[in-house]
Amino acid sequence: MGLIKQPVAEQREFKTERIDADLVVVGGGLAGTCCAITAARAGIRVALVQDRPVLGGNASSEVRLWTLGATAHMGNNNRWAREGGVIDEILVENLYRNPEGNAVILDTILLEKVCAEKNITLLLNTAALEVSKSAADRIASVRAFNSQNATMYELHAPLFCDASGDGVVGFLAGAAFRMGAEPRDEFGEGFAPDEAYGHLLGHTIYFFTKDVGRPVRFVPPAYALDDITKIPRYGQFNAHRQGAHLWWIEYGGRLDTVHDTEPIKWELWKVVYGVWNHIKNSGEFPEADTLALEWVGLIPGKRESRRFEGAYMLRQQDIIEQREHADVVAHGGWSIDLHPADGVYSARPGCDQWHAKGVYGIPYRCTYSRDIANLFLAGRILSASHVAFGSTRVMATLAACGQAVGMAAALCTRDSLRSGDLSASPRIEQLQRELMRAGQFVPGHRLDDPDDLARQATITASSSLRLAELPVDGPPLRLERSWAQLLPVQAAPMPKVSFVVDVAAATTLQVELRTSSKLGNFTPDVTLASERIDAEPGDGQRISVDFKVEIDQSRYVFVCLMANEHIAVRTSQRRISGLASLVHRRDQEPPNDIGVETFEFWTPMRRPDGRNLAMRIDPPIELFRPEQATSGVTRPTDAPNAWVADPNDDAPTLTLRWPEPQEIRRIELSFDTDFEHPLESVFWNHPENVVPFCVRHYRIRDASGRCVAECTDNHQTHNTIVLDPPAETDQLTIELPATHGGTPPSLFDVRCYADV
């Protein structure tokens, strides 16, 4: 560019650009990002406006909190509960590229996913400043400013989504919102906090260190906290804990968490540098001598500020009682996780967490404003009480809600509807169907897809798993705690089971058969039968149990070997989709008056541990048949919901046959990427970069044997295959030569369509 000379002027204005879209999404955290990607893939034009230089919000390299949701680090009873759809795609990709959990790599994945969508206009470093309305209940446009390019943007659309965290669009548009906790009597929530506990969750700033291999000194800034004993729990600090493990360096719950963010940030910096000064210079941590302070967050990670009022406000009872909603569009499962408002300066524990017995549904009515007809709510401003917010606020849950909003916006655009118009039947069923097509898990629903040609096919397979045995080829597991094998069984007499045990001294082993009081839950709160078996000393003994129980309907049961220090049970190296072993970790024992249930936690071990218990089953379990690949559910719930090949099948195939030729343009396949695994996005070393259950190599052949599609290195859950030209055939055969971990190949879902 050549020389620019302009004469003096009385006043100038910033360069202004107008952008027209079908949906404007303000906020590029995981909720806003998943919303924008979903809407763009559904065919509408999206403007995604993010006031930071990267996407991801609290998951980004600017904050560095791991992404979690219903799986809760595998610490509760929510089996196979990881969120599906776009957030699953992102987390599985992050595992593949970034098992070490580098937040910068996650930044690149999020940016790549958004930039791949031609229907998205991405505006980074751009802050929404002003809202214009065409009517009292309608937003016409949003003005946003980018300080990096000194440009003002005028963003026009019929629909808007506020995923900004603090609800800047909803606030400026005048939508009803709340800050702080509702009193106990408003919704009858027993866990509603009192004034002593406080009504808001605060912010956190993390820090990271590295060992440079030589002594490093640290001179604290003048503003660092000078007396570490002002932090009642200062004894919990050490030289090894850093990053998100110090989530409880929290402050601001007694302040305005919107307008006081800057003083909150300064107080958190004061604490962080004071903590590091204590670790480096107190003399109590000689192991810190060679540690250097590598990174301190520049912006705080926010937990809570405004919550906006939708057509319905989720509350404690919806979570604990797992209430069913006709308009459910997403699921949650994190604990109700509240923190004392005094944060790091509180003498109380850093959090109080209470779980439900299983996952709960989040209704569509929580995702749009009750006041502004064209405003969707995504992210932590979701319509929920303070108590319910304690569970919904985690990022993977909010990402699933963001996907629901993105799909809803696409349907509203297509049919010229307002957000609330989708709430009632039959439109809500259409939204649920489109979400399940895109991989979303909708509790209590199966995909009933009238356009799916696979539903019209006869499905056969080269083999199917008949679960008669899990071979004895793993290390022994001493029953220092109670262990269980989780098995899917059908409505029939419970099969006989047997285990191989090593017995150190004469003892009596108690074996229990349990199930869940609610179908689809994995809390073993109902005991169906119990047997006591006398055992003499000796290794390699087989013990058999016949519970003589009639199973009422297809469901999962727990065969529990209760704790016995004299016994070790043999394990199996064989991993199979829909099976897991669990250990009794602890019990949830809440106070009597808070409306939360008492129950036991039985949870799996993380890989490479977590082997199944070696056992024989008579008669074999036959719930892995080929028709399960069209069950409409793409994860284990009350059944495995997957076709699984026999482990001895050297060439596993699934074949679809039609009575007459079909024109097939698109095929959808869903594989097992272990929805049990949380896939924490950052600061967490995963043992592998691909899930061992996942099919690595597949081919699809038509009736003539011609290969119409092949993938040799798949690692994703959901694969979409577009055939160009389309296949004209009365048969498709899906070959699954290999998985990543040598497990028997499995397929949760196959769908075929005549359109793209």
Structure confidence by residue, pLDDT tens digits, 186-209: 999 999 999 999 999 999 999 999
Q: Which residue, 149, 151, 157, 162, is CA-closest to 132?
A: 157
pLDDT computed for residue 440 by the predictor: 98
Average of per-residue pLDDT across 410-431: 96
Please list, in sequence order, all residues whose beta carbon lies within 8 angstroms of the beta carbon of residue 9, skipping any fewer than 6 positions away.
none
Mean pLDDT value across the chain: 97
Identity of the amino acid at 482 = S
CB atoms within 10 A of CB 135: 10
Are 61 and 53 within 8 A, CB to CB? no
Are 88 and 676 within 8 A, CB to CB? no
Is the per-residue pLDDT at 316 higher than 80?
yes
Where residue 43 falls (left for φ over 0; alpha for ψ -120 to 50; beta otherwise) is left
* DSSP helix, strand, coil percent of the chain (3-state; round to 5): 20, 35, 45
Confidence label for 20 from pLDDT (cuts 50, 70 and 90): very high
Is residue 430 packed enough to be buried (19+ CB in 10 Å), middle (13-18) or exposed (0-12)?
middle
pLDDT computed for residue 755 by the predictor: 94
Give whole-number Cα distances, 204 to 257, 268, 305, 339, 727, in Å. Answer: 12, 7, 13, 12, 55
Strand, coil or helix: what is 584? strand
Confidence label for 313 from pLDDT (cuts 50, 70 and 90): very high
- Encode pLDDT of 693-749 as tens digits: 999 999 999 999 999 999 999 999 999 999 999 999 999 999 999 999 999 999 999
pLDDT computed for residue 611 by the predictor: 96
Looking from the CA of 429 toward its CB, the CA atoms found within 13 Å total 7
* Count helices and strands in the chain by DSSP H and E runs: 10, 41
CA–CA gap between residue 547 and residue 530 (Å, rounded):
7
- Encode pLDDT of 550-592 as tens digits: 999 999 999 999 999 999 999 999 999 999 999 999 999 999 9
pLDDT computed for residue 478 by the predictor: 97
pLDDT computed for residue 218 by the predictor: 98
Mind giving me the DSSP string for 620-656? EE----GGGGGSS--S-SSS--SEE--TT-SS-EEEE
pLDDT computed for residue 606 by the predictor: 95
Average of per-residue pLDDT across 440-455: 97
Q: Respond yes or no on whether the N-terminal peptide bond of residue 647 is cis (omega within 30° of 0).
A: no
CA–CA gap between residue 24 and residue 39 (Å, rounded):
10
CB atoms within 10 A of CB 206: 22
Is the per-residue pLDDT at 230 higher than 80?
yes
Q: What angle do CA 345, 346, 349 make, to 5 degrees?
A: 130
Average of per-residue pLDDT across 323-345: 98
CA–CA gap between residue 303 and residue 379 (Å, rounded):
11
End-to-end, the C-alpha distance of the chain in Å comes to 45
pLDDT computed for residue 106 by the predictor: 98
pLDDT computed for residue 1 by the predictor: 76
Confidence label for 653 from pLDDT (cuts 50, 70 and 90): very high
Beta bridge pairs of residue 25? 48, 161
Confidence label for 44 from pLDDT (cuts 50, 70 and 90): very high
pLDDT computed for residue 14 by the predictor: 94
Question: Any idea how long the chain is?
Answer: 756
Average of per-residue pLDDT across 447-451: 96
With residue 110 as reference, give the H or E element that holds it.
helix 103-115
Give whole-number Cα distances, 107 to 110, 244, 686, in Å. Answer: 5, 17, 18
Average of per-residue pLDDT across 307-328: 98
**Backbone φ and ψ of 40, nearest 5°:** -65, -40
Q: Which residue, 660, 622, 623, 656, is CA-closest to 638?
A: 623
**Backbone φ and ψ of 413, nearest 5°:** -65, -45
Is the per-residue pLDDT at 355 higher than 90?
yes
